[in-house]
Amino acid sequence: MELPEIIIIGDNTFNKDNLSKLIKKKALLLTGPNISDIFAEKIEAALKGFEYEKEVVNTSTYDEAERIYNKYLGKDFEAIIGFGGGKVLDVAKYVGYKKKVHMISVPTSASNDGIASPFSSLKGGKHPYSIKVKPPRGVIVDLSVIMKAPKRFILSGLGDLLGKFTSIRDWKLASIEKNEYYGEYASKLAYESAKHAMISTKGIELLKYVSVRNLMEALISAGVAGGIAGSSRPLSGSEHLISHALDIIAPEKGTHGEKVALSTVFIAYLYGINWRKIKSKIQEVSLPSSFSQIGIKRDEVVDAILMAPSLRPERYSILHKLRLSKDTINNILDEINI
């Protein structure tokens, strides 16, 4: 079980004092192409007195992560600081893992649950899903930064959390039918994280400070659940497999959380749980309530649902069990109207 050692949440928390709890010497700062300009003064103030080098992460791909790793192969760093969105954090975790140094997670948005998880999701590799690395040693959530993020990315984090309602059911199903390990505590933590976010939807839609903080805490808790489980099982089920399939079939359409949220409605229907309530929460905020709203066609959705089980044959889920036909999928999509 590997978990973050330090988690700090609040206003203006990305500062020298808090960084001093995690690093003493030299660090490599990874950030996005625009983020470093927007928060230049904050970054400079926080890292004043530390020796560091800065590198811009252009894409969240294996090629980009390997480029950065190889560029700094002969240099020693005490830590890798990821200051950015999910793409930056995924690359930072991967580089830190390969260099065998600590990673410090400083998110600039609430777009997914990778903030504190021991998983890195990089495109262009052998598999279109997350790989296990190491969790961040420290997580510093500066709400003065998060509140400046585009609303769409904040809502995307809510969408990612909704997926926990079905991912834990897939995990339980695999335990019952395939004798797979099932962690009751990790499952409960993931569930409570999603539930915690759901009660704050109205406030999240209005970007209320307390509600956004609740969302960040829920995203961190979900990531910790993955660390406790030692796998992404409590975080990622068949709803994520559909999202990954859509990444292949309809690339660059919709955010991760938007696709997960809609896929969760579909999987909730298969499990016979209250899919209408999940959909109502999606509609309560500015998340898309249909795939067409993010430019994904019906036939692409159907193909993604058919493809999803093949992406991870070993990751047993309700899609593996039911092996739905194209006609059945279309009928369900008509009924739930996504």
Predicted local distance difference test score (pLDDT) of residue 127: 67
33 and 166 in a single domain? The answer is: no
- Site of tokens 């970007």: 207
- The CATH number given to whatever domain includes residue 232 is 1.20.1090.10
Q: Note whether residue 185 is domain-resident.
A: yes
- The CATH number given to whatever domain includes residue 133 is 3.40.50.1970
Q: Specify the DSSP element, H or E, that contains 30.
A: strand 26-31
192 and 77 in a single domain? The answer is: no
58 and 125 in a single domain? The answer is: yes
188 and 290 in a single domain? The answer is: yes
Predicted local distance difference test score (pLDDT) of residue 329: 99
Q: Which is it for the CA torsion 244, 246, 251, 255, positive or negative?
A: negative
136 and 201 in a single domain? The answer is: no
Predicted local distance difference test score (pLDDT) of residue 124: 81
Q: Note whether residue 106 is domain-resident.
A: yes
Number of domains in the chain: 2
Euclidean distance between CA atoms 149 and 170, whole angstroms: 32
Distances (CA, A) of 159 to 82, 155, 256: 23, 6, 8
307 and 168 in a single domain? The answer is: yes
pLDDT in tens, the chain (338 residues): 889 999 999 999 999 999 999 999 899 999 998 887 889 999 999 999 999 999 999 999 999 999 999 999 989 999 999 999 999 999 999 999 999 999 999 999 999 899 999 999 998 877 666 889 999 999 999 999 999 999 999 999 999 999 999 999 999 999 999 999 999 999 999 999 999 988 999 999 999 999 999 999 999 999 999 999 999 999 999 999 999 999 999 999 999 999 999 999 999 999 999 999 999 999 999 999 999 999 999 999 999 999 999 999 999 999 999 999 999 999 999 999 99
Distances (CA, A) of 63 to 116, 122, 290: 23, 9, 33
Predicted local distance difference test score (pLDDT) of residue 2: 84
Last residue of a domain, one of 120, 146, 172: 146
Helix axes 86-99, 62-71, angle to 10 degrees: 50
Name the residue range of residue 65's domain.
6-146
194 and 279 in a single domain? The answer is: yes
101 and 162 in a single domain? The answer is: no
Closest CA to 157 of 92, 218, 240: 218
φ and ψ at residue 53, rounded to 5 degrees: -120, 150
178 and 85 in a single domain? The answer is: no
137 and 156 in a single domain? The answer is: no
- Site of tokens 């995690």: 22
Q: Note whether residue 1 is domain-resident.
A: no
Euclidean distance between CA atoms 122 and 63, whole angstroms: 9
Q: Specify the DSSP element, H or E, that contains 80.
A: strand 79-84
Last residue of a domain, one of 121, 146, 171: 146
142 and 157 in a single domain? The answer is: no
Last residue of a domain, one of 146, 180, 203: 146
202 and 310 in a single domain? The answer is: yes
Burial category of 41 from C-beta neighbours within 10 Å (exposed 0-12, middle 13-18, buried 19 and up): exposed
